[in-house]
Chain A
Amino acid sequence: MAPNQPEIPLQHLDEVVIRFAGDSGDGMQLTGNQFTETSALFGNDLATFPDYPAEIRAPVGTLFGVSGFQVRFAAKDIHTPGDRPDVLVAMNPAALKVNLGELKEGGLLIVNRGNFSPRDLAKAHYDHNPLDDEKLAENYQLVAIDLNEATLKAVESTGLSNKDALRCKNLLALGMLYYAYGRPLAHTEDWLKKKFASKPQILEANLLALRAGAAIAENSELFKVVYQVNPAPLPTGTYRNIGGNQGLAMGLVAGCQLAKLPLFYGSYPITPASDVLHALARYKNYGVTTFQAEDEIAAICSAIGASYAGSLGMTGTSGPGLALKAEALGLAVMVELPLIVVDVQRAGPSTGMPTKTEQADLLQALFGRNSEAPLPVLATSTPADCFATALEAVRIATTYMTPVVLLSDGYIGNGSEPFRVPAIETLPSFPVRFHTEREGFLPYQRDDQSLARPWVIPGTPGLEHRIGGLEKEDGTGNVSYDPANHERMVMLREEKVARIAESYPPLEVYGEQQGEVLVLGWGSTYGAIRGAVNRCQDANLSVGMLHLRHIWPLPKDLGDILQRFKKIMIPELNRNQLCRLIRSEYLVDAVSIPLVQGRPFTSTELLGHIQDLHA
């Protein structure tokens, strides 16, 4: 950028993984997001993974107070935020200690030397200063500078207090990285201007720090090389960066627009699902009503009530909340009203590790209700996929008059990636028509095709009728204890759900279409599996990949595909839940690859498992 940088060599890279790590007060999420957005505008493919501490704001400098944000940006199509980072930015000793182990050998290590006082070191339980350790500079490209001092100097002119001035140090670090990767400052400058429009002094300081970072990096030749990661050859179209929970909210809103229904979201906050509520609460001008209920039970009940009254009722939660909704979900099955229940899964059991990810609510979603209460279960697999999966949930709920469980997880919900904004014409259309015809009306008369019952909303003259959780007589919906009727109704409810599979598009296997190993996945393992399978292809291993959006009912063509491979491998962030289902449905000896560490698989791990299966 600056003219006088002849001697710094420029290296082209395919992709880079940067992890920003610091105290939760250090603004690492913000820094990471800015880097992500700038790279997105630049045209890279991207994936991010924020890693918050469990505490809101832990005491400064402690190990449990470390907040991280990983971004992977690439000149190619990528699917995960990367396994181990190429670059680590560590704002204090605690951040260094927690993250150093994962930095690639020889990776770039930027450390804020200004925060390595004995007190800081003690808080991170270091008994010596790791920066004094020679091995650090041997093993990594160490850039240890005093960001505090640099920041104070840079913003001196604003007259801010030291405390406020130091708040800008993350922008200084960001500026350095922008320089290193040849990125313009403009996007972040614009963003700062908007954010601090009413606080000119703070704005000025932040701008100064950002620019100073770039300048320092350039002038002091901090980096031995600078890098270039070209734009990725993404399919043409308009893109935006999207977070999983945000994408889900947008998809739900879009779905209701397509169904021509008002959206009612009744929810009770819970990590990591709360952001769906927060996002929807901002969509009030899209016919969205949000209701923060007193608990999860009230949340789902209010949503059922809203669907009964003619909105599309939805509720969102995480695993413990889904458990609480079980009884009411059974009611929704019985009264056959549309309803969407979002579960952004987290690590359990019980309260578990709320800020960590897991995929272990699958069997709960399928079977966690009294008696036979079948319902469709969908799973989204990436932040960008949330939009389409949400649309599909709305389509199924309204077409089949059924509650739907939509599984996401913390990794998807908090992660982000570029999302190709669909053209409106390409979206499916499924407008809802309420039933108003008196002639021959029966509350439980079914559509021949879908077996859905009519959706009649209170206020419709002449169609007054009663529904409820007691077993109902086929057709009339009156209470019935007749044994044969009960069996008929149980089977009708089951059959209705089974028929949903008739509306799926054919499954698409990625990679080999038959052969040695099929990696069968669902949910957030998508990126890691895709990465591993790509690497297999490079290594000429025969591997196919199939990723399920529809977990229940299972796609009709799944059985055939399973037959085409010698071995089926199912990696899941649980102990074997999809695997259990597949084994019982198809009697294939699928191999479970479980991981329950509150973190996603790495592609490398999966590659190893695939190689083992080939051995």
Chain B
Amino acid sequence: MVEIAAQIGDTLSDIPDGARLMIGGFGGSGAPIELIHALIDRFNTTGQPKNLTVINNNAGNGGVGIAAMISAGMVAKMVCSFPRSADAVAFGTAYMNGDIELELVPQGTLAERIRAGGAGIPAFYTPTSFGTDLAIGKATEEFEGKMYVRERWLKADFALIKAECADRLGNLTYRMAARNFAPLMAMAAEVTIAQTRTLLDPGGIDPQEVITQGIFVDRLIAVPSPEQEEALVRDEVNYA
């Protein structure tokens, strides 16, 4: 059953040191900036949570969102496909200094591993990465004349995601390409926390148009005017 929080901090207060967090978004599209910043606020006040493993396609940009988490020293490890970009200074610095661990995963494999975690599939075979450095140490097998790599599911303790609409049962929709990883992460995390621009009564979303079903969502917080990471980065905002 979904809990509807009055304060954003209430949704995050039990995330412990060492937790595995999936954070939605591809670049800034779909990044739950308010949830991330509330988690940084908690860290700045209490010193927790730290030593986090963060699973996201990227590794943060500029001085906000995941980049600000990294700069604050909350993140021990990133699991992502593309931690390199013009604005990924926070991760790049931490990585080159040896202050953060990186598990690099091809983007489609990352998505499928997360889905598998949510769908009860502990392992699957993909052609992706066969014969490359990213397949080193992984089992391989031939099916119908083609070689495949075996990959394991990926789960998390918490998922932080950004929805466009939610109803009070936790059913969600997303805005355009902001959907990306969020529906998968909602399935794969023990506790899924969603910020939503609008919060409707049950029935407010057409049952045929629900993207994430309420069964996958544990906590909701209304954020009626969410920030857009890309705009913050362009404005050179630093969240510290």
User: Is chain B a partner of chain A in the same complex?
Assistant: no
Interface residues, chain A, CB within 8 Å of chain B? none
